[in-house]
Amino acid sequence: MSKQTILNKELPKGIGPNVSPEAFTNNKRKVFLFGSPSYTNIGDQAIAYAEEKFIRNHYPYYEYIEIMDYATDEGIQIVKEIISEDDIVCFTGGGNLGNLYLDIEEDRRKVISTFKDYKTLSFAQSVYFEETEEGDKEKKKTQDAYHQNRHLTIGTREQQTLEYVKDTFDSEVMYTPDMVLSLDIEPQELEREGVLFILREDKEKVTEEKFISELREWVEQEKGKRTERTDTVLHDMDVIDYKDREDQFMKMLNRIGSSELIVTDRLHAMIFSIITKTPCVVFGNSYGKAKHSYRDWLEALNFIEYTDQKDINKLEEMIDRLLQAEPNDIDLKQDFRPLRDYFKK
């Protein structure tokens, strides 16, 4: 498809949902975001939301064009036709670089190896390949794909991943907090009621159901507080397209900000608690995503705490402390400096 063809006909769905068609043909420097999520994980939706804000706020002179995950193959064809020498190709960040979410990893390999001659960034990730035959095989495939691209930078969001990436790939590595922490949203002043449990129901889950039941019962009986259980992955819809991203993200923030306390094993439930100034107790997942983000960046927050403690009596003291804290702020702006400098060059 030539530039002229693109000008003359409608683009396929999911190619540049955030721009008008002129964006593909003007003479601005372009930043392409591949892998823009259409699935219902609000954490990943919030990451893409924050990536767009970051580019649009700091580099309004660039054209920022998203390609939805379901349009990756068509998107690659179109971008190949219009890309210029100094454009930048990105793949969205998150916690899916590895062998647990292979459909996404396969798309990332494809994008990175196709655009091997262009400045390429994988936004900040937690990287995890299982130490199994299967995990090793997929790691090898990822190495082979990424190493074709000598202009690749791999973003990492915990020290653990930073070290792993340095050991595993020949690419440049960048280290910043999770993108959602770059947002600067004022928390709404909402009535708060009850304790919201936000818990995984996926392959990363390690918190036992028995413990969760005991904890909920204890909160209701001993603390006299209503409890509810939910997840940051929505199950009542199949797709969140670009145009619904902000509303769904706001709905989740609203729900968390209306709670007195969050109990979670989800990294982004913790981050949404930070944004909404909601006290939060965080448990781990299978490979330490939330734990390491907490330890590396967030330990100074007085209303958020990571724990592996499963003794309810000992948890009580922590929960009482979190509920009484006057939520403090931390300033991570300087920690995003590597990313800001990256896009200037």
Positions in the binding site for a second copy (CB under 8 A): 53, 57-61, 183-189, 246, 249-250, 253-254, 340, 343-345
The token duo for 237 is 């819809």
Return the number of the residue (234 or 250) whose C-beta is nearest a second copy.
Answer: 250
* Eight-state DSSP code of residue 301: -
Q: Which of 170, 136, 176, 171 is nearest to 156 (CA)?
A: 176
* Closest distance to a second copy from the beta carbon of 343 (Å): 7
Return the number of the residue (140 or 333) whose C-beta is nearest a second copy.
Answer: 333
* Closest distance to a second copy from the beta carbon of 24 (Å): 16
Return the number of the residue (250 or 323) whose C-beta is nearest a second copy.
Answer: 250
* Closest distance to a second copy from the beta carbon of 300 (Å): 18
* Closest distance to a second copy from the beta carbon of 142 (Å): 31
* Closest distance to a second copy from the beta carbon of 59 (Å): 6
Return the number of the residue (165 or 174) whose C-beta is nearest a second copy.
Answer: 174
* Closest distance to a second copy from the beta carbon of 28 (Å): 9
Return the number of the residue (210 or 243) whose C-beta is nearest a second copy.
Answer: 243
* Closest distance to a second copy from the beta carbon of 207 (Å): 30
Return the number of the residue (128 or 249) whose C-beta is nearest a second copy.
Answer: 249
Return the number of the residue (190 or 318) whose C-beta is nearest a second copy.
Answer: 190
47 close to 82: Cβ distance less than 8 angstroms = no
* Closest distance to a second copy from the beta carbon of 335 (Å): 15
Return the number of the residue (212 or 234) whose C-beta is nearest a second copy.
Answer: 234
